[in-house]
Chain A
Amino acid sequence: NAGVTQTPKFRVLKTGQSMTLLCAQDMNHEYMYWYRQDPGMGLRLIHYSVGEGTTAKGEVPDGYNVSRLKKQNFLLGLESAAPSQTSVYFCASSYSDRDRNWRELFFGEGSRLTVL
């Protein structure tokens, strides 16, 4: 059972380049999230999804797009990377209990992105 898997683990981009981070979970969770963590900061929510085919903006969505075409995958895209997007990105997933309330988040190991 792999849990939440993120690829790639590391990436260096030049300003203006595009890339996609892939998150895959094998726990059949309904909810998936993308967070970023910067030095001295807590984790901040970028986008999230409450089910296949749905996405919503989080706290810091600008400069990112997401897609959830399959329940197990959540993609985070940077169309035109900027140095301010240098960060560690964490994907997470969670499920809802029988009362349709979400339970705690399970995180991937993180993807370190550097934009030069």
Chain B
Amino acid sequence: DQQVKQNSPSLSVQEGRISILNCDYTNSMFDYFLWYKKYPAEGPTFLISISSIKDKNEDGRFTVFLNKSAKHLSLHIVPSQPGDSAVYFCAASSFYGGSQGNLIFGKGTKLSVKP
């Protein structure tokens, strides 16, 4: 059973508009959530993270929102740029007290930003 779910395999957005990528999780023990971005033929690169003690974390054009009661998080990209076109992975783990980075990944959402 999937513990981290990204139900939208793909998303297409116009340049300059907002991109919203969603992620749901089932394990209430998760307390740390990350978003990774992946271009073809490259490794995933870290984008932004949020711990369960927060409900929002912002870094430039990227904002992650966490709704613990709904076990849902979302990544907002504003404004979207063609260079943001990539596969975005949501990942979750227990940060404190150490599962030492055993991230559980979703299947990814492919974002296409049209010029």
Contacts and interface: CB of A to CB of B under 8 A. Distances in A.
Interface stretch (B12-20, B41-49, B54-62, B78-86): B41-49
B98 A101 contact: yes
A40 B107 CA distance: 6
Given A43-B89, A43-B105, A102 B44 contact: no
Interface stretch (A14-22, A67-75, A104-112): A104-112
Contacts of A104: 34, 46, 49
The prevalent SS among residues of B at the interface is loop
Contact of B108 (A42, A100, A101, A105): A42
A58 B43 CA distance: 19
Interface in A26-80: 31, 33, 40-45, 48, 50, 58-59
B41 A109 contact: yes
B43 A101 contact: no
A109 B4 CA distance: 23
A43 B44 contact: yes
A90 B46 CA distance: 14
Contacts of B102: 45, 48, 58-59
Contact of A4 (B4, B43, B91, B104): B43
A25 interface: no
Interface of A: 4, 31, 33, 40-45, 48, 50, 58-59, 90, 92, 94, 100-102, 104-110
